[in-house]
Amino acid sequence: MKLTVPLWLGHLFLVGLFLFLSFLFAGVAWNFLPFLPVLALGIWRSPRPIGHILRLLPSGALKDRGVLRIVRALFFLSLGLGGWIFVAAFIGTGVQVLRPLPQEYAGFFEEVLTKLPLITAVLVVGVGAPIFEELLCRGLIAGDLLEEYSPVVALSFSALVFGFLHFNPWQGIPAFFTGIVLGVVYSRSKALLYPIWGHGIYNLGILGLSRLDFDGASYSQPTLQDLAFTGPGALLGLGIFLFGTRRFLRAVTDPKENLLLEGLEKNGL
């Protein structure tokens, strides 16, 4: 009798393996080694072909003026995620107000954001992390779960994993909501290029804002006044995010399916 393991349970095992390997390699700074065996095992056990898991663009995407559609989609996705940065920063500030950041975490973030060479930070935060994290959380986990479960369940589970992999609530909670956004981007585009690109834009924006915020000064615990100060920026960012994301969905959605978007707009959604 063949033992059948639920898909979500198999991915939960992958998360546990990732955590164990991360602990094992904890002394190695900025390494992506834990991703490699986890991705290899996940791809091997996935019910989908490897080509579907690693697909950067939908088949035939470069035909019929496809390059222009891709460039347009990347532009509006950049605009949307650029706005989302301010929403996520507001969420992160709120988490720090409710649960102050311990000094050891504050020292770690300060050292990374102020002392790590800029080119290294860009390569690690803006290139390496988006590629490996999107391969795992969207290409493998979300992609597999979308085959068996509803988008709400699949994208929520992958976003929870994405948030949990940040190892702390100050990054993890904003990462969960960002994971929902990137999951929608992946499920609608059916390609990894867009969530990787969006993730990179988001990370680089957070890196830039953080460096400007520290500006060589020591970390200071945010207050309710700081949270109120960032509120208007978050509202503006939310508007930019909604505008950019809607235009992005138009660019990557099949023209026949754009009727759905038009119906949503007519109803004010």
163-171 long-range Cβ contacts below 8 angstroms, 24+ apart: 164/15, 165/15, 165/18, 165/133, 165/136, 165/137, 167/22, 168/105, 169/95, 169/99, 170/92, 170/95, 170/96, 170/99, 170/101, 170/105, 171/92
Per-residue pLDDT in tens (0 to 9) along the chain, 269 residues = 344 567 878 888 988 888 888 887 765 555 688 899 999 999 998 989 998 999 998 766 666 557 888 899 999 999 999 999 999 989 988 998 888 877 777 776 776 666 778 888 888 888 999 999 999 999 999 999 999 899 999 999 999 999 998 888 888 999 999 999 999 999 999 899 999 999 999 999 888 877 776 554 445 677 888 888 889 999 999 999 999 999 999 988 755 444 444 444 455 44
Structure tokens at 114: 């102020």
